[in-house]
Amino acid sequence: MKEPLSPDMTVGRLLEEHPELTAIVEEILSANCQNCPAAHNETLRLSAMLHGAELNELLRRLETARR
């Protein structure tokens, strides 16, 4: 069983470890995260807040896609 994603994981780390989730992240955050220099410092929690996205929805969609 995979360890759940943490809201404190950086967007950059998420995309490095799970490139298949890029489209979901970019859709929910309405941002091009792969080319954003802040992605390596911003957590999923902070990115959701800054982009007006619902953190729980982001995490739920990412977890569903990882299965």
Q: Tell me the pLDDT tens digit for each residue of 20-63.
A: 999 999 898 877 777 777 888 999 999 999 999 999 999 999 99
pLDDT at 39: 82
In the chain, the N- to C-terminal Cα span, in Å, equals 10
**Token digits of residue 47:** 């990115």
pLDDT at 61: 94
Continuous H helices in the chain: 11-17, 22-29, 44-50, 55-66
The total of structural domains in the chain comes to 1
Q: How many residues does the chain have?
A: 67
Spatial distance between the Cα atoms of 31 and 41, rounded to a whole number of angstroms = 15
**Residue 38 domain-assigned?**
yes
**Token digits of residue 34:** 């792969």
**Residue 4 domain-assigned?**
no
What domain range is 16 assigned to?
A: 11-66
**Residue 35 domain-assigned?**
yes
**Residue 1 domain-assigned?**
no
Query: pTM for the full model?
Result: 0.86
pLDDT at 1 over 70: no
pLDDT at 47: 92
